[in-house]
Amino acid sequence: MINRGWTGSREVPGIAVTVVALLLGACEVPGQGGTAWPPLPSTALAELAPDSLRERALGDGVLYRFAWSARGPWAIHLVSAEIDRCELDLMVVPAMNEAGTERVRTPLTQMVPGAPSVPLAGVNGDFFRLDNGDPLGPEVTETTSRFSTRPAFAWGPDRTPWIGVPERAGEHMAFGPDTIVPGQGSDETGVVGGYPELLDRGLVVGDLGVTAGPAFAAARHPRTAVGFDNERRMLWLVVVDGRQAPRSAGMSLPELVSLFLWLGADEALNLDGGGSSAMLLGERVVSSPSDAEGERPVGNGLWLVENAEGCSP
């Protein structure tokens, strides 16, 4: 069943999951300008065979989908964005104390970007140290920069996403075409770390850590990831709920890679998962975090935002 616009509840056999649909229905955004929304790729529809599919426009070229499939069972949250739109931008937000002087683990709902940006969707970011929330991988925000040779997702002034392993370039850090001076933030380039890299130019990267860490990679867990389709110029933010049988079991990393391939992505990076996995639309949590306490304090967040200043000549 496909429903465009959140006019009812999600119909998952034997499971009451109406709360998010009701919340979103109260702040529904209609299709922009009467234009047709791009369909979910046919391969994803065929492989997931969703028993329920809900769609909601977040802005021009940005669409949120919730899919529930008994094949997992999986509850999947997808945000797609046409990355060439000048009003769209990506931001990495570090978890800091109120004074902005120290790292401190913070729920994603307390890392919502402010004006002039309008937050459209956000997900939790990198793995982090439990004591203070320091990310394990690289990070570049307006106020922070950290170097690591762990894989990363980067977004620079040329508006082309990049996923890979950063390298040292003299005194700089190189994230594909973008270079950053360690210790200095950047208002043009954002970087968030993750592990492992999932797809590189359409190819699965190694064995995804299955041999070295089967409990992490081969087992099903809640997952958060980012990927993009270079040909269609489409960005994907993905959260798969997990540890919530019979509603959603989560995914192994091989299953997560398959999902990105079904979506048509050729680059993808796994972000922190488990109890950290969360997706927000605006300031509302739409995923179902697996911790009994609800949303977990994390180290940073990755946000898709709208900012009309990006279209200024």
Contact assessment for residue 267 and residue 228, using Cβ atoms and an 8 Å cutoff: yes
Q: Amino acid identity, residue 175?
A: F
Confidence band of 7 (pLDDT split at 50, 70, 90): very low
Q: What is the pLDDT of residue 36?
A: 62
What six digits make up the tokens of 181? 């001076």
Confidence band of 168 (pLDDT split at 50, 70, 90): confident
Q: What is the mean pLDDT of the chain?
A: 89
pLDDT in tens, 55-64: 999 999 999 9
pLDDT in tens, 69-87: 999 999 999 999 999 999 9
Confidence band of 33 (pLDDT split at 50, 70, 90): very low
Whole-model pTM? 0.90
What six digits make up the tokens of 254? 């091989």
Cα distances from 302 to residues 36, 168, 258, in angstroms, run: 27, 24, 22
Q: What is the pLDDT of residue 223?
A: 99
Neighbours of 257 (CB within 10 A): 21
Domain spans in the chain, listed from the N-terminal domain onward: 2-82+196-268
Neighbours of 229 (CB within 10 A): 20
Share of the chain above pLDDT 90, in %: 75
Q: In angstroms, rounded to a whole number, what is the distance separating the alpha carbons of residues 181 and 145?
A: 8
Rg of the Cα atoms in the chain: 18
CA angle at residue 24 from 90 to 17, to 5 degrees? 115
